[in-house]
Amino acid sequence: MLAFAIRRLFEAAFVMVTVALIAFVVFRFVGDPINQIVGQDTSIEDRLKLREELGLNDPIPVQFARFLANAARFDFGISYQMKQPVTAIIAERFPATLELALAAAIFAVGLGIPMGVYTGINRDSWLSKIFLTVSLIGVSLPTFLIGILLIYVFSVWLGVLPSFGRGDVVRIGVWRTGLLTTSGLKALIMPAVTLGLFQMTLVTRLVRSEMLEVLRTDYIKFARARGLPERAINFGHALKNTLVPVITVIGLQLGAVIAFAIITETVFQWPGMGLMFIQAVQNADIPVMAAYLLLVAFLFVFINFVVDLVYVRVDPRIRILGRPT
């Protein structure tokens, strides 16, 4: 277990350093940082002085080491576009994205598991067929199209839900939450559904196929033979054994949710990190792009690491034998 954890830790560190290298190369060599910071009428002497002060004349490895050290302290410099420290911008945007991602995950799991169980037990009912057809469409439709469709129905047509923004937010310490006001909750519904729909269909299909498999096994037949009620068999015995892969997939999908939040946040003008990243890409705001890249990489690597450990912990059948090729 410990050897496994240490090896995974090394792999995670490798991924992080690679991503940091990419971020550094982009940061350092795409456009001249000096030109981005100063105005047109700065003299050449001032530019050279600034270049020396910022350490841009140092050897590249030294600069990379400094970049890494700064990144480890969450110092990513100043945004070219907004002229604020990148860390301050991210600290402001992060709660919005996290709340959205969690709401989407809760939606996906809360609806996906019951739907999966239902379609797994009642294979041939017409409701199952509807669920599966809807889930196929949900997988095929691009995220932004679903968002626009929801806006058209619930904002333009019915006029019951707001189409953009977070509503009113309440500040708790440094965290600005939209979960405590009615308008905030109302504003959360459509973005969370849009973001979570793909994951919901994924969970549904996964739970369904796992249920189908488990319901065929001998111990389920045996439970039936013992005369246990259907409910105890389906939920107590069958569902419990489908949950290991479901937990893994949900964990891994949490990263995808954060990445796809870029699209959802653009559609709903949700003031989170994804919208920040898109604006940074449109304006070639390299420090913000580099910081977002590193932060998302860290989240991904962290989630992968935790999921790997949980997986081994939960399912003792998984043997850790040497290095997989």
Partner 1 sequence: MRAADSPAPAQPSAAAAAPPLPQRGGNAGARRSRLAAFLDSDLLHSFLRSKLVVLAALVSVAIVGAAFLAPVIAPHDPYDLKSLSLLDANTPPAWEKGGDPSYLLGTDDQGRDILSTILYGTRSSLQIGICSVLLASALGLSLGLWAGYVGGRVDTFIMRIADVQLTFPAILTALLIDGVALAILKHHTIEGGKFSILVLAIGLSFWVQYARTVRGVTLVERNKEYVEAARLIGIGPLKIMFQHILPNVLGPVLVIATINLALAIITEATLSFLGVGLPPTEPSLGTMIQVGNKYLFSGSWWMVAFPGFTLALLALAVNLLGDWLRDALNPKLR
Find out whether 77 and 289 touch, Cβ atoms under 8 Å.
no
Residue ranges of alpha helices (H) inside the chain are: 2-29, 33-37, 44-53, 60-72, 86-121, 126-140, 143-150, 182-215, 218-225, 230-231, 240-268, 273-282, 286-314
x-or-dash string of contact with partner 1, 44-63, rule CB under 8 A = --------------------
Q: Which residues pair with 176 in a beta bridge?
A: 171
HEC letters along 18-72: HHHHHHHHHHHHCCCHHHHHCCCCCCHHHHHHHHHHCCCCCCHHHHHHHHHHHHH
Selected from 95, 162, 255, 272, the binder of partner 1 by CB under 8 A is 255
Q: Which of residues 286-305 bind partner 1 (CB under 8 A)?
A: 286, 289, 293, 296-297, 300-301, 304
Residue 302 in tokens: 């962290």
Find out whether 1 and 312 touch, Cβ atoms under 8 Å.
yes
- Does residue 200 touch partner 1 according to CB under 8 A? no
Selected from 263, 276, 295, 307, the binder of partner 1 by CB under 8 A is 263
For helices 143-150 and 240-268, the axis angle rounded to 10 degrees is 70
Judged by CB under 8 A, which stretch of 141-149, 214-222, 224-232, 306-314 contacts partner 1?
141-149
Selected from 4, 9, 10, 14, the binder of partner 1 by CB under 8 A is 14
- Does residue 139 touch partner 1 according to CB under 8 A? yes
- Does residue 277 touch partner 1 according to CB under 8 A? yes
Query: How far, in whole angstroms, is CA 71 from its chain's centroid?
Result: 21
- Does residue 34 touch partner 1 according to CB under 8 A? no
x-or-dash string of contact with partner 1, 205-244, rule CB under 8 A = ----------------------------------------
- Does residue 153 touch partner 1 according to CB under 8 A? no
Closer of 32 and 58 to partner 1 (Cβ): 32
Residue 74: strand, helix, or coil? coil
- Does residue 13 touch partner 1 according to CB under 8 A? no
Q: Which residues bind partner 1 (CB under 8 A)?
A: 11, 14-15, 18-19, 26, 30-31, 136-137, 139-145, 148-149, 151-152, 155-156, 163, 255-256, 259-260, 262-263, 266-267, 277-278, 280-282, 284, 286, 289, 293, 296-297, 300-301, 304
